[in-house]
Amino acid sequence: MNEVHGPNTAAEISRRSVQLLREYTGRGPTKARTVINHDSVMVLMGDTLTKGERKLSENGKADHVRYTRQEFQRVMRDDLVRIVEEQTGRKVIAFMSDNHIDPDFGVEVFVLEPGGDSDPRDGYEG
């Protein structure tokens, strides 16, 4: 895939990710920001929880909410990866996702296939 970052690439990834989360959970985040670096894409979302998830969390069930969100993220993985690949023109080689309950944030991180001479693993101890 060729790298094709238009001026609205990050905004489009944010918009489509929020829309996808809304389709899966019935409510999308009210805030989202996408940051695209040389070899990664990060989508940070705020105000992600549904009313029901908030009530569960308030009543000691935050672990249940996190588990359910992880299951959504596993099911949404292919759709999220497709969005990033279509918008960046690059293949996603790794995907990580997590949620934080209080404050209410979610993050989707995508590692892109190396372009040219670079490798995302360069500079990391292993």
pLDDT in tens, 47-93: 999 999 999 999 999 999 999 999 989 999 999 999 999 999 999 99
Find out whether 114 and 95 touch, Cβ atoms under 8 Å. Answer: no
Domain encompassing residue 70: 9-112
Kindly report the CA angle at 37 between 12 and 77, in degrees rounded to 5? Answer: 55
Residue 76 maps to a domain: yes
Is there a domain that residue 122 lies in?
no
Q: Cα separation of 80 and 22, whole Å?
A: 13
Residue located via tokens 């309950």:
101
* Total domains, the chain: 1
Q: What is the pTM of this model?
A: 0.85
Whether residue 106 is contained in a domain is answered as yes
18 domain residue, yes or no:
yes
Q: Which two tokens stand for residue 34?
A: 């996408």
Q: Is the pLDDT of residue 30 over 60?
A: yes
Position 71 in a domain: yes
